[in-house]
Amino acid sequence: MFHHLIPIYDNEVENWCFEARLVRWLTFIWLSLGLVILFSASYPDSLTENGNGWYIFLRQVVWIYIGLMASKVVYRIPLKQILKYSPYIYGCVLVLVLATILGFGQEVNGAERWLNLGIVQIQPSELLKPLIVLQGAYVFATWNHKTWTFKGVWLVVFAMSLVAILIQPNLSTTALCGMTFWLIAVGSGVPVIQLFGVAVSGLVMALISIALNPYQMLRIASFRDPWSNLEGSGYQLAQSLIAIGSGRLSGVGFGMSQQKLFYLPFQDTDFIFAVFGEEFGFIGAIALMLFLATYATMGLIVVLKSSHPINKLVGLGVIVMLIGQSLINIGVAVGGLPTTGVPFPMLSYGGSSVLSSILLASLLMRVAIEVEPQEKIISDYNQQLSPKK
């Protein structure tokens, strides 16, 4: 009776190809794992701050439900149709990003990345990620067939997006989005000299940001030796390393993390992997890495099987966004990268983040749905080669 209200229920799935169904179930597993980890990481802080240990967990469930309902809309619409509207949606979300730096943003932890809409706060830069993948794939897939006016306009729009996110300031998200643009361009076959120019420009922007924001330079310096400033810039990373080290081989057990008890900052967002490492140990961390590798492998199989260049680049962009962001989050938690505010997709708490991640995954599902069966590809190819009567 109420099956239409359950986001994971969909009769159309039975007609999907194997890759599409597997990507869908891997996404559900990722979301489920995220809820389990988030419950453990957020319970003490939720109980203290809100008087309800389930507060953060339940809010995340609501956002996941919204994301799954939105994903049903996305993967049912052909990419060709989605791309007709994506430039306009991109423009609207970009306006929201610009609003955060024009006095309408709400400052949280020293950065104006959020907009207060009354009952909820949204982070527009997170919502821009699926649109970056879509529009980047379209622009670079058609690069050799467009005028320089078209190319110039979209390059300015992309640059404006990155600069706006950088000014918030949000260097890590800027780097991730810039890397996604660049790798999509690489995959499309854009000339090397142009790619080199873009890479140099991105590096210059990053250096300027670091020079203008002393805390970013402090983070870069402190991650090399967090123990030298335990009460200052090295505190977050030191507590993360203590948590991961305490997990040893098999972990201290689910829910038994000690560092999440008001020692480890941002334990349910930026440093959620540290809680996971403490509770599930080295074995759990390796299992999580293998899961990410499996997801990435399935995504690359979908990309390789896709016959349309835009679809290929959309799939590539999704993998770069989801897996790249996951690896950055892990790298920060283990001290391999400077401390940055990058959430773990589908694990970290955050409505905008989890909604963005689900939409990215639904785009990958759509690309997989549009993969033509091998028999049809061979048939079409033979038909093209056969002599005309």
Please give the single-letter amino acid code of residue 381: Y
Judge contact between 56 and 42, C-beta under 8 A: yes
Q: What confidence score (pLDDT) does residue 226 get?
A: 83
Residue 378 has pLDDT above 60, yes or no: no
Q: Hey, what are 54's tokens?
A: 């389930």
pLDDT digits (tens, 9 = 90+) for 224-271: 778 877 777 788 999 999 999 999 999 999 999 999 998 999 999 999
Confidence of residue 1 (pLDDT cuts 50, 70, 90): very low
Asked if the peptide bond before residue 130 counts as cis, ω within 30 degrees of 0, the response is no
SS3 82: helix
Residue 2 has pLDDT above 50, yes or no: no
The structural domains of the chain, with segments of one domain joined by +, span 3-371
User: What is the number of other CB atoms lying within 10 angstroms of the CB of residue 314?
Assistant: 31
pLDDT digits (tens, 9 = 90+) for 325-348: 999 999 999 998 888 878 999 999
Task: Write down the mean pLDDT value for the chain.
Answer: 88
pLDDT digits (tens, 9 = 90+) for 125-138: 999 999 999 999 99
Distance CA 277, CA 23 (A): 25
Residue 387 has pLDDT above 80, yes or no: no
pLDDT digits (tens, 9 = 90+) for 37-88: 999 999 999 999 999 999 999 999 999 999 999 999 999 999 999 999 999 9
pLDDT digits (tens, 9 = 90+) for 9-39: 566 776 788 899 999 999 999 999 999 999 9
Angle between helices 171-188 and 309-333 (to 10 degrees): 150
Q: What confidence score (pLDDT) does residue 381 get?
A: 38
SS3 107: strand
Distance CA 359, CA 180 (A): 16
Is the pLDDT higher at 26 or at 166? 26
Distance CA 357, CA 90 (A): 16
Q: Considering the chain, what percentage of its residues have pLDDT values greater than 90?
A: 65
pTM (whole model) above 0.95: no
Taken in order 100, 340, 27, 186, the sign of the CA dihedral is positive
Phi and psi at residue 107, in whole multiples of 5°? Answer: -80, 130
Helix (H) or strand (E) holding 292: helix 272-305
Phi and psi at residue 112, in whole multiples of 5°? Answer: -100, 80
